[in-house]
A and B are shown apart, each in its own frame.
Chain A
């Protein structure tokens, strides 16, 4: 589904991604871990098409297409979803209105008929159950006045409604208490299927107790320095990132 080769990206001339290689197949869940500043969020943003980053080398192929050629909205329409680390507030625009605009933009892209307000509402009410969201969130302005946990839950709600092929969850667990984490992770698990893929970007192993990954990758200095199964996450939890740091720093020194 997704093939990243030798991806380099920089912001304002400063290189942040330094040759990423990663292959994600349908049905897989990949966890990307790493210390602060290793480039995790940058990778998520670059894949989603944020223009603040310049791709300086490498390629990203998604469903056989050159993903770097697509605009952010076209990527979204092609089924790429990013759950934001810091979901953005849009005052005065209700969550339902926003989501319907998004779903209809995607349906239009695929030449499908757009939903009217009534049909859409029934779809949305179904999806709300996945993240145990209260209906009052439908009429509130997008993320405005939401608590940190509610914002993250709202992201997964968006994911449920948009039904993406490739979901990138950028630190969806940060700022969540244990109950919210359980609900959010439960939602993600319900959306997991053999046809879609999920990339989890996270600091901590604890999310992976709830969402079991097929692969774990460690990002450091803009590169994947170690990959393995879910046991790698436990190892990191146990030993921290120090070993990784030492190993890759000395490799660079050599």
Chain B
């Protein structure tokens, strides 16, 4: 084995850096799923009747649906009756400030490097922190409120802005959209809600840190972001999870709605526990993310850096309904050890002069499998639609796989579609070149991989880009040949 391969292996074998659990007595539902559990969740959250009905509708549809098996990932059957669908940290009343937040919880955030207090004072980032399934701290809300921006937990939104929630919930991802989305619709626990009113440019990046905590708790987050006419918002989603043995199911739904001239930028850095080097444990991440450019000249950009999870099934998509609307998807997906990722996007062009860009960078190391799956669909009324797709794969070592499945459905002949794809191996010649200039193999791999992902990283907000680069380094510690 060459020195490079060895270094790569060492790096690849480095342990998950964020592995710990916090002991907070959970207020949980018994395992299993039934109409009663759905009612329990809804009651626990003191929800209005219409929302309970919506959940039940989703639940009944879910019962009739089959778990999808077309994706290029393999995992043992999930026993949906063995999952706890509700768990909340014990908080008597909703805290009014950080002082009222469980100190142990705050300590966890410290470990994650998100000192809320500091963020409140210094960083200018509002954090709607989601811990297990209930939001426990929200910052900067008042400041945002001055401009009419709503940024709160989903449950709060249900109570405080029921009309808005009712209007937009399920408008992009219907309750019956797919197996995992239906499951989420039935049992979603909490998540984030953002509403930016007409003509308002949100003055700061909105950020939510997710963290999966209680053992065997499926996470069913629901996020809804609405940007009214001419509004702009940039939203950051980032997460790390504690190390544990059981596989954990995560089935989130994110819906974005952009009205005329509105822009939504949604950035994710995902670093859930990927399982150990033997493929044991790790998060199953089955996520439905979709944005609707409902208005003319609207724009939705997805940027994701996916380094974690044992299984990733995720296709952040754009429905380009408004004329001249723009959809973008920038993705870096890294898989190592036994991780499997099947990720990509769907760009659905319905309006005239709609444009979409897809830049996907897949990096596979160890024995992992990394699949890009993307659909570009041009509807029959979508005159002059344009799409550019670029899918690059990089392989590290000789035991991993990279796959690309681009699908095209063109129903209007004025469409212009370009697709480029490359597959490369981190070259020993590249590493030797770096070594010869004095750069260690580990640093060389980092440098080469970060260079490979540059087009995506530059779409991330600055501080997030730095975090993403570090994450990539951690995920691939010791992985090229």
Contact = CB atoms under 8 A, between A and B. Distances in A.
A141 B440 CA distance: 19
A87 B433 contact: yes
B427 interface: yes
B419 interface: no
Contact of B455 (A71, A76, A90, A92): A92
A162 B438 contact: yes
B433 A102 contact: no
Chain B binding surface SS class: helix
Interface centre among B3, B436, B438, B453 (most CB of A within 10 A): B438
A15 to B, nearest CB: 20
B427 A88 contact: yes
A215 to B, nearest CB: 24
A73 B429 contact: no
Interface in B418-451: 427-430, 432-441, 443, 447-448, 450-451
B451 A158 contact: no
B443 A71 contact: no
Interface in A47-101: 48-52, 71-73, 75-77, 81-82, 84, 87-93, 97-99, 101
Contacts of B434: 90, 98, 102
Contacts of B427: 88
B304 to A, nearest CB: 18
Contacts of B430: 88-90
A76 B448 contact: no
A92 B437 contact: no
B10 to A, nearest CB: 15
Contacts of A73: 435-436, 438-441
Interface in A88-138: 88-93, 97-99, 101-103, 105-106, 109
Given A51-B2, A51-B4, A75-B436, 14 more contacts: A51-B428, A72-B432, A73-B436, A73-B440, A73-B441, A88-B427, A88-B432, A89-B430, A90-B451, A91-B452, A92-B450, A93-B451, A105-B437, A106-B438
B451 A141 contact: yes
14 contacts: A50-B432, A71-B3, A72-B436, A73-B435, A76-B438, A81-B436, A88-B427, A89-B430, A90-B447, A90-B451, A92-B450, A105-B437, A105-B439, A162-B438
A76 B451 CA distance: 23
A162 B437 contact: yes
Q: Which of A87, A88, A106, A109: most chain B Cβ within 10 A?
A: A88
B448 A102 contact: no
B439 A102 contact: yes
Interface of A: 48-52, 71-73, 75-77, 81-82, 84, 87-93, 97-99, 101-103, 105-106, 109, 141, 158, 162
B438 A102 contact: yes
A254 to B, nearest CB: 40
B454 interface: yes
A173 B19 CA distance: 54
B359 to A, nearest CB: 12
Contacts, number: 82
A109 B453 contact: no
Contacts of A105: 437-440, 443
Contact of B435 (A76, A89, A158): A76
**8 nearest A-B pairs in the assembled complex, by CB-CB distance:** A92-B451, A102-B437, A93-B451, A92-B454, A72-B435, A76-B438, A88-B433, A105-B438
A84 B437 CA distance: 11
A106 B441 CA distance: 14
Nearest to B3: A51
Contacts of B452: 91-92
B448 A93 contact: yes
Contact of A98 (B3, B432, B447, B454): B447
Interface in B400-416: none
Contacts of B4: 51
Contacts of A97: 447
Contacts of B433: 84, 87-88, 90
A8 to B, nearest CB: 21
B258 to A, nearest CB: 30
Contacts of B432: 48, 50-51, 72, 88
